[in-house]
Amino acid sequence: MDAKTCLQKLRYVGVLAFATVDGQGAPQIRNISAIHYEPEAMYFFTAKGKDFCRQLLADGRVQILGYTKYKEMIRLSARARPAWEGDQQKWIDTIFEEQPYLSNAYPGDTRRLAGIVFAITDGEIEYFDLGVHPIFRERYTIGSGSITEKGYQITDACIGCGTCAVHCPQQCIEAGTPYQIQQAHCLHCGNCHAVCPVQAVRQRG
């Protein structure tokens, strides 16, 4: 798996959930399908008058979520910026060509007056496959995005009692000094953290 493949999978999903925060810090989420994909970038259309557009212009942070029929969760965390002014027309036309139904909402030239295209060129992608055993997760970046550490880690305080491994639902803790979590198969459930008698398991991030 890699970032490009994740973006392709999001394209096949089609309708994605886009989450932003409003001026009061409250979460706001909506479905978006007016999207054009490049190998490592995403362009999407919205109307300038929508709250969504105001939130993107004011803050820019966006989280995009897709779920495939194979139980794969793909989450893109990024900052969206208006595409370059000189390219707005091109991206609007591209998105409307790829998604003809949009002309029902914005026929003729109304799309150009109402619309704006945002670009996502940098970000972090989290891939989480619940359809395999053990589960599989991995993180990738596009552009200058960076990876945020999440989940749990076993520190040198580990005394090797093995209690965490017994309670791990994915059997993804390997014996050693210290014991070690196989991050690619970890659910982030926290069982190991809860049962460790010497608090050797720390939360990452």
- 94 or 163: CB nearest ligand SF4: 163
Amino acid at 133: H
79 and 122 in contact (C-beta within 8 Å)?
yes
Shortest spacing between CB 176 and ligand SF4, in angstroms: 9
User: CB of residue 202 vs ligand SF4: minimum separation in angstroms?
Assistant: 10
Cis geometry, peptide bond prior to residue 27 (ω within 30 degrees of 0): no
Residue 94 or 180 having the CB closest to ligand SF4 = 180
The nearer residue to ligand SF4, 73 or 187, going by C-beta atoms, is: 187
Q: Which CB, 99 or 163, lies closer to ligand SF4?
A: 163
Q: Are 146 and 124 in contact (CB under 8 A)?
A: yes
The Cα–Cα gap between 150 and 164 comes to 18
Alpha-carbon radius of gyration of the chain: 21
Peptide bond into 178 cis (omega under 30): yes
- List the end-to-end C-alpha distance of the chain, in Å, as a whole number: 23
In whole angstroms, how close is the CB of 164 to ligand SF4 at the nearest point?
Answer: 3
Q: Per-residue DSSP letters for 124-174?
A: EEEEEE-SSSS-EEEEEEETT--PPP-SEEE-TT-----HHHHH-TT--EE
- Binding residues for ligand SF4, per CB under 6 A? 152, 154, 158-164, 168-170, 172-173, 178-179, 181, 186-192, 196, 198, 200-201
Closer residue to ligand SF4, CB minimum distance, 41 or 187: 187
